[in-house]
Structure 1
Amino acid sequence: MALERAYERMTAVAVAALHEREPARLWPMLAGALADLCGGEAVLHKLDDWSEDTGTIGAAPDAVAAELERLGEADLALLRAGYPLAQHYASGTDRTPVTAWRAAGRGWPDSATARLLDAALGVDHVLGVPLPESTTPITGCLVYRTGTDFTDDHLVMAERAQPLLAAVERQRQLLQEWRRRLGRGTAPDERAADCALTPRETTVLLLLGEALTADAIGRRLGISVRTVHKHVENIYRKLGTRDRLGTVLRAQQLGLVPSSGST
């Protein structure tokens, strides 16, 4: 029952994240709920390449983020490398959550990564929760805990959470793309808010401007065609339009989507 309640909370947080206008806030919103769901104490999330050389690591709670800021470059490189989970997922297409102990076996406790985690964060075990659609590079979250390894139930709940994480990541990427294409300094969030468009409706509007069908929009966002049509109806009502072409033109006039030919 406790895990089911944690999953309900995770679902509620994921839905709330879809109404967040600032892309950078989406993953920090999810971190605490994911830790609770998986029996963890801390979460690192990395949405670009798991390599030693590049990429920003996000962390929760704040105390863990503060500890990361104290690490030197060599230690950060060790964390970025994601041993042994990055190699585990890179070797095939299976994205099922797995623990470091199960991936590395008896070699895990004596590894340099395990020693660093114990010294820096006071944790012993790691659970990898990759985004289910990630290929190369592998992206996703690492959940940490002390004491015993994550249980089979924790792994099952982590797998159930993967579609929620994927939906939020799609939204984050589209919001970033929307901002990039409209250009810096244009205050697109304010214009969307003035039209009472939710962040989800804003991303649907962006995809309408790309001439995607309802089926294609649904696949891009991971939602049903029926839900797409509901969002489109809301957009029509809020912009005072009746069809797709009129909506896109009106949105361009309002500076809500890029004009034709812009990148």
Structure 2
Amino acid sequence: MSFIPLSKCCVSGGILSGTPRGEMEPASAGRQVSRYHTRPSDDEVINDKTALVLYTDAFGLSLPNAKIMADSFADQLKVHVFVPEYIPDALPANLFEPVAPLYPGQYANRSWWSTFVVVLPLLLRVWRWLPWILNPKGQVPLAEKALLDLQSEGYTHLGAIGYCRGGAVIQYLLASTSHPTLLQCGVVNHPSPETSTWDNIHKPTQWHLAEHDQMFGLEKIANLRRVFEEKKKNEGVVFDFYHHKDTVHGFACRPTLDHEETKKAFEEAGDTAVAFLQKHLDL
């Protein structure tokens, strides 16, 4: 089964179309973090004690993509899926469109003057978000509280999948010593490289990295593989790794039909994540 088969009618400019079927559950007296909650469309949940938590990229829930992808994960894994609002002041979805390419070379022919004209207004608008943009660890407390909410509701087996900032946060959660049993496994998609966490991650992980990613270059990828391959050899730590050819940062959550390799990588990242989670959440 394909993760989300892409066609001309279901994606434009990296934004998935469709109507999410789940519901928003606000923070309340018994819930610390608001969240999107979805379940299989046929309502056949195979384990009410197991759930997947999806941590969004920096755009949070301002795009429909995270909800639509959560719906697909729920259908394929047959579990409850939650998307916590762990970034209360998420970036506007359209803010980085003029400078964040959806595929390699999208803006390669732009002149220096055109680049300046595009980048300057962006810098003037983005300054108020800079404190949390530059501090991935700052989102960890709310991300962790979202897991504690689920634990208090009776969920005993939790897996996580994250994109961009969400992938960085998962690294901190898996390395945590304060609540080491909260997560059984994690899927990390094109994150920032939180290298300080790597030595402390001993749970099964699957990594999906872009070939052209300014935040996670080839040297850092080589270091990641060295660290985790050694742990896999010496400690038996599960480490799945995919380096997706001809892709840029964001391919796994904001795909485009204008580039075949990106479309292919999006599908592969979703399909392999499903197989990995089925195995390590004992589904």
Instruction: Return the TM-score normalized by structure 2.
Output: 0.23
Per residue, is there more strand in 1 or in 2?
2
Q: Which has the higher contact order (CA 8 A, sep 6+)?
A: 2
Larger Rg: 1
Structure number with the higher helix fraction is 1
